[in-house]
A and B are shown apart, each in its own frame.
Chain A
Amino acid sequence: MDLILTAHIFGGTLAIAAGFVAIAAPKGASWHRKSGMVFFYAMLLMATLAVFMAGFRGVAPGGNIPMGLLTMYLVVTGVQAVRPPGPPRVKRHLVRLCLALFIASGSAFLDRQTKFRVSCVCRSARCSRHSP
């Protein structure tokens, strides 16, 4: 399998898992901070490779390049918002990182029924969801 695509999928999977841990953990606690930094680096890896593949391999560049750059912008500025110097801007941090996680989880999960091959349990030949 393609190494770059594998790394992109790995980064995205790690980012989504770490993002959900950060959402579930108490805010500001050690778990939130640690999984948040994992989310940060995994998102950067995933978005960089997405932009690379969109630009150099022509994978829907019109949509994927702006979306990848937007994701990087949201992640970097979202983390910067709660880092010193300056007061923590919690609202900015929350909105930007949640939007970044939504971009990742939406890209992974929305409209992907064909990718996650699930056979229908009804066993009816007339069922539209029945996979061969």
Chain B
Amino acid sequence: MQIRPLLTTLAVTPLVAMLFWLVKLRRRKGARQMSTGAPRQAALDAVR
């Protein structure tokens, strides 16, 4: 029975979960900034 793929999958699951949640956090942060207009306001402040 081939058990190595199963063990490898179990071993790398934390890394995959980390990447998934990092992307999710980044998207959430981007959506929050879009809704508040924070980057636009920062750019306007920099120009002033």
Chain A residues within CB distance 8 Å of chain B: 19-20, 23, 27, 90-91, 94-95, 98-99, 101-102, 105-106, 108-110, 112-113, 116, 118-121, 129
Contact = CB atoms under 8 A, between A and B. Distances in A.
B42 interface: no
Contact of B18 (A20, A98, A105, A119): A98
Contacts of A90: 25
A113 B7 contact: yes
The A contact surface, by secondary structure, is helix
Given A94-B25, A110-B8, A23 B13 contact: yes
Interface residues of B, number: 17
16 contacts: A20-B13, A23-B13, A23-B17, A90-B25, A91-B22, A94-B25, A98-B15, A101-B14, A102-B11, A102-B14, A102-B15, A102-B18, A105-B14, A116-B7, A118-B3, A119-B1
Interface in B2-48: 2-4, 7-8, 10-15, 17-18, 21-22, 25
A98 B4 contact: no
Nearest to A95: B18
